[in-house]
Amino acid sequence: MKFYKDGIEAFKDKFEAICQARHHVHLEYFILRNDRLGAEITDLLCKKSAEGVEVRVLLDAVGSRKAKSLVRRMREGGVKADFFLPAGIFSPRFTFGMRNHRKILVCDGKVGFMGGLNIGDEYIGRAVPHHSWRDTHLRLIGPGVLALQRVFVEDWDFSSGELLVGDQYFPSPLFNGDARVQMVWSGPDQEYNASHETYFAAITAARKRLWIMTPYFIPDNALLTGLRSAALKGVDVQILTQSYPPDHWITYWAGRYFWDEMLACGIKIYTYSHGMMHSKVMLVDGAWASVGSANLDIRSMRLNFEINCHIHTAQHVKELEEQFQRDVENSMEITLAQFNCRSMGVQVCENVCRLFSPLL
């Protein structure tokens, strides 16, 4: 397992993995931008298809709505590309709210990537206003890749009607690492949302420290109670989130509505100062970690299709904790006294945006 703290190195390794693929390349992303990086990966996928490699691309119909010209190029180049839950009002599966927020790349069923990075120039620091993009992504080699493949295959079958089976898609895994991981995928098709249940279990299980990175912080009542209870029983609860200016204004102001209550019960809140903070990470007691696509917000817990990697090896959790501490050093702490000095206009904005939280 290898961790990435930004998109520059991650996409370098992704491009290399795609270039080395011999049988298939599978991509599943919420956002594909019609920009320089999007064009580069489109050209590479068409090149691999011309070499005889099976290439499949599954994109969320809303998140990637501006990438239709790239999808046409892919299809013309032999790539099989489809959209997840098309949002047109005449679509037989019309839904605007339930979106596929997963970010998955699998090459030959042997190498897999997942985490918070979509495909676009901003994720490698090329776009304004966020010239620096802080994210957490990971690469896996081993049995965990087969779980990523399973999620892709199920989503691809749902969207395209093509069911992928056989050893060529699910080869015997390599057992040459020491990381213990568990893939957890969730969505509105589940009776009990797996991301919500595991986040809640982790929060209530914390005894020493609970460190969270999430750009969008809009917890439901259960998660809110769990965080508050953890802090009141003496757990070191720290939340690292994005700073001003945000990438999504309504979500940002709605999230600030909860800061007062969090700060009052002893939770520390930090806003990242060195660019856009987009990581979705939870760290518990130095023994457990979660890295993936699910934010600590209602949308991720109820409406989105998400996937997270849960990590159970102390040395890998420690690596993530050390990065969290470095990120805190590059952040500003929000104190209760400071937050209480905000203007009445700001408070009104927070309260109004809070009304939209069931959709955020």
Catalytic residue among 6, 60, 82, 108: 108
Domain residue spans in the chain?
A: 2-160, 181-359
Choosing from 48, 101, 130, 196, the catalytic residue is 101
The β-bridge partners of 333 are 270
Mean pLDDT of 325-342: 95
Q: Which of 14, 24, 26, 103 is catalytic?
A: 103
Residue 101 annotated among the catalytic residues of the structure: yes
Beta strands in the chain (DSSP E): 2-4, 24-29, 54-60, 80-84, 104-107, 111-115, 133-134, 137-141, 181-186, 209-213, 217-218, 236-241, 268-272, 276-277, 281-284, 288-292, 296-297, 306-311, 331-334
- CA-based nearest residue to 177, from 137, 141, 139, 145: 141
Q: Kindly name the residue from 26, 48, 278, 316 that is annotated as catalytic.
A: 278
Q: What DSSP designation does 303 have?
A: I
Other beta carbons within 10 Å of 74: 24
Q: Do domains 2-160 and 181-359 have the same CATH topology?
A: yes
- Residue 93 pLDDT more than 80? no
Domain 181-359 class, CATH top level: alpha beta
Instruction: Point out the least confidently predicted range of 93-107, 171-185, 320-334.
Output: 93-107
278 tagged catalytic = yes
Confidence of residue 20 (pLDDT cuts 50, 70, 90): very high
Outline where 28-106 has alpha helix (H).
Answer: 36-50, 68-76
Class of domain 2-160: alpha beta
Mean pLDDT across the chain, nearest whole number?
Answer: 94
Model pLDDT, residue 269: 97
User: pLDDT tens, 175-186?
Assistant: 888 999 999 999
- pLDDT at residue number 273: 92
Residue 275 φ/ψ region, left for φ over 0, alpha for ψ in the -120 to 50 degree band, beta for the rest: left
Burial 158-172 (b: 16+ CB within 10 A, else e): bbbeeebeeeebeee
131 is annotated as an active-site residue = no
pLDDT of residue 126: 85
Q: What sign has the CA pseudo-torsion 343, 224, 292, 186?
A: negative
Q: Tell me: pLDDT of 90 over 70.
A: no
Whether 80 is catalytic: no
State pLDDT tens for residues 240-297: 999 988 888 999 999 999 999 999 999 999 999 999 999 999 999 999 999 999 999 9
280 burial class (0-12, 13-18, 19+ CB within 10 angstroms)?
buried
Q: Is 196 tagged catalytic?
A: no
Judge whether residue 129 has pLDDT over 90.
Answer: no
Average pLDDT over residues 114-127: 93
**Inter-helix orientation angle 36-50/7-20, to 10°:** 10
Q: Which of 280, 297, 316, 327 is catalytic?
A: 280
Strand order in the sheet with 306-311: 181-186, 306-311, 288-292, 281-284, 209-213, 236-241, 268-272, 331-334
According to the model, what pLDDT value does residue 356 have? 87
Is 5 one of the annotated active-site residues of the chain? no
Rounded distance, CA 120 to CA 133, Å?
A: 11
Give tens-digit pLDDT for 42-81. 999 999 999 999 999 999 999 999 999 999 999 999 999 9
pLDDT average, residue stretch 331-335: 96
Residue 89's pLDDT band, with cuts at 50, 70 and 90, is low
Q: Which of 35, 43, 220, 285 is catalytic?
A: 285
Average pLDDT score over residue span 19-46: 97
